[in-house]
Chains A and B, each alone.
Chain A
Amino acid sequence: MSTSTTTALQASLVELIRVSSTVLPRDVITAVDAGRKVEEVGTNAAYALDVIDCNIGLAKTKSQPLCQDTGSILVYVHTPVGYDQIEFEETFIEAVKEATTKGYLRQNSVDSITGKNSGNNVGPGTPDFHFHQWRKDHVEVKLMLKGGGCENVGVTYTLPNPKFGGRDLKGVENAILDCVLQAQGHGCGPGILGVGIGGDRVSGMAWGKHQLLRLLDDTNPDPVLAELEKSIVAKANQSGIGPMGFGGKTTLLGCKVGKLNRVPASFFVSISYMCWAFRRQGVNLAADGSITRWIY
């Protein structure tokens, strides 16, 4: 990459981080609005969603983080064959440091033994890169900022389990609903679930998280999973947990399920819980590093 391309790329990536951290994507705003319509005036649930709505507006106009926990930095990149991924990674890391100095990201990378904060969001495993090549001629970068509160309420279940059932759709659904029950308000609901059925302990959860890149209003191409997604959202919203666990009708804004093959001995249901502050954004980049399209 030429120096001017690297400079342009870094500027584009800082902008991607800024927008991700401060502006909620359209599909999420639509889902929050739908929740506000169903909660009764004067309830704590309605109050919580009003504050959330106000927060969404403030973050955008002030260009400041929607939530102070700017989370794990999850980066999903597709690059043309022959593209220099190493240089991309180095440039992204510089962009993360710059975004941290500018206050778009909190200092969020902590040594797991010493407790020392690296101060710039860079360290072993942070940011978390997922690279893939594709045969298109542009680079696509998708970014998710996933907070710790919601990450902590994610669960991997193994089936069969006497409480939930066997290795079938019933068992899967009951396990997912247990995750919603246990999470209550701890993950800053109304939440969005990304679920991976099958795989191993790593790939299942990674695939579950990957489902969160889907638009909230899309339809799963697999009709069985599409039904499951609908059923989970409908039942969760009848649970009465509500926004922040205050009680109410809006417990989930969405549920996205994917499946992977498994080995005969294992059956995992891996659930990644995302809070209402669902910060994900993406861009397509031209060869000169400039942004050509915003994805969400």
Chain B
Amino acid sequence: MAVIPLTTPITEAQIRTLKVGDTVEITGRLYTGRDAVHHRLHHGEKPPVDLAGQIIYHCGPVMVKDGDKWLCKGAGPTTSSREEPYQWEVMRDHGIRGVIGKGGMGPKTLAGCVKYGCVYLHAIGGAAQVAAEKITRVDGVDWMDLGSPEAIWHLWVEKFPCIVTMDSHGNSLHQQVFEASAAALEKLKA
């Protein structure tokens, strides 16, 4: 498998070259954002960071304070489908170029990827330590009033591994696998 390196911030042109099934390794900034963050953005709150060209990571990390520094003890992806109602708006309003999560997302997000130039990147669910190894620094946190797992953490990553499962050309691996597996199981029915 050829691995494609990606460095944040990412341009739209770069995103458009990515295809479903590509393995990528990300270096640079990742902002975590999950349910409560998307809820706030949806209600029009201004994000505390500039998201243009950036990647949002659906993740509620385990963080431990060490003096005035934060240490990341685990940071795998959380289920993305909960953000399905909101994700496309974040693409439209804030210019994000990538979303990392797990489980994939639905048609609204896929349409958003096509329209605004964004990809869905699938990290390996549950692999919190592999992810944590790639997070070399925690540079800050916003919206801590949401609780640690829901806050916006500013992570710095080196070669963070993901698979493109939804691209900006309207392809979704999740849709393909769902359709094929539904047909296969229909044949295997008791």
Q: Mark A residues whose CB is within 8 Å of B.
A: 42, 44, 47-48, 51-52, 54-55, 58-59, 62, 64-70, 103, 106-108, 110, 115-117, 119, 147-149, 152, 165, 169-170, 173-174, 177-178, 180-181, 184-186, 188, 231, 235, 238-242, 244-247, 275-277
Contact = CB atoms under 8 A, between A and B. Distances in A.
Interface in B4-63: 21, 23, 36, 59-62
B171 interface: no
A69 B78 contact: yes
A244 to B, nearest CB: 6
Given A48-B124, A64-B62, A185-B103, 9 more contacts: A55-B126, A106-B62, A116-B147, A181-B178, A184-B103, A184-B174, A184-B181, A188-B126, A276-B126
Contacts of A51: 124, 127, 130, 161
Given A59-B129, A68-B75, A239-B181, A149 B102 contact: yes
A242 B127 CA distance: 16
A238 B188 contact: yes
Contacts of A173: 190
Interface in B56-82: 59-62, 64, 73-76, 78-79, 81
B73 A103 contact: yes
Contact of A277 (B36, B126, B148): B126
A3 to B, nearest CB: 29
A59 B148 CA distance: 21
Contacts of B150: 117
A244 B102 contact: yes
B133 interface: yes
A110 B146 CA distance: 11
A21 to B, nearest CB: 9
Given A65-B128, A169-B190, A186 B163 contact: no
B104 A245 contact: yes
Contact of A149 (B73, B103, B127, B178): B103
B59 A177 contact: no
Contacts of A55: 124, 126-130
A146 to B, nearest CB: 12
B181 A149 contact: no
Contacts of A181: 178, 181-182, 185
Given A47-B23, A55-B127, A65-B62, A177 B133 contact: no
A47 B148 contact: no
B33 to A, nearest CB: 15
A232 B129 CA distance: 31
B26 to A, nearest CB: 15
Interface residues of B, number: 50
Given A65-B74, A149-B102, A177-B188, A52 B126 contact: yes
B107 to A, nearest CB: 15
- Give 4 closest A-B pairs by Cβ, nearest first: A117-B147, A188-B125, A58-B129, A68-B74
Contact of B128 (A68, A148, A244): A68
Interface in B139-175: 146-150, 161, 163, 165, 173-174
A173 B165 CA distance: 30
A115 B125 CA distance: 24
A59 B128 contact: yes
Nearest to B72: A68
A68 B103 contact: no
A245 B174 contact: yes
A147 B127 CA distance: 13
Given A68-B61, A276-B126, A235 B78 contact: no
A116 B146 CA distance: 8
A6 to B, nearest CB: 26
25 contacts: A55-B124, A64-B128, A68-B60, A68-B61, A68-B76, A70-B62, A106-B148, A107-B148, A148-B78, A148-B79, A149-B79, A149-B103, A169-B190, A173-B190, A181-B185, A185-B103, A185-B174, A185-B177, A238-B184, A239-B185, A241-B181, A244-B122, A244-B124, A246-B163, A247-B173
B81 A186 contact: yes
Interface in B73-101: 73-76, 78-79, 81
B95 to A, nearest CB: 27
B125 A174 contact: no
A29 B163 CA distance: 24
A42 B1 CA distance: 6
A174 B124 contact: no
Nearest to A189: B125
Task: Name, among A51, A52, A165, A177, the residue most crowded by chain B CB atoms within 10 Å (CB to CB).
Answer: A51
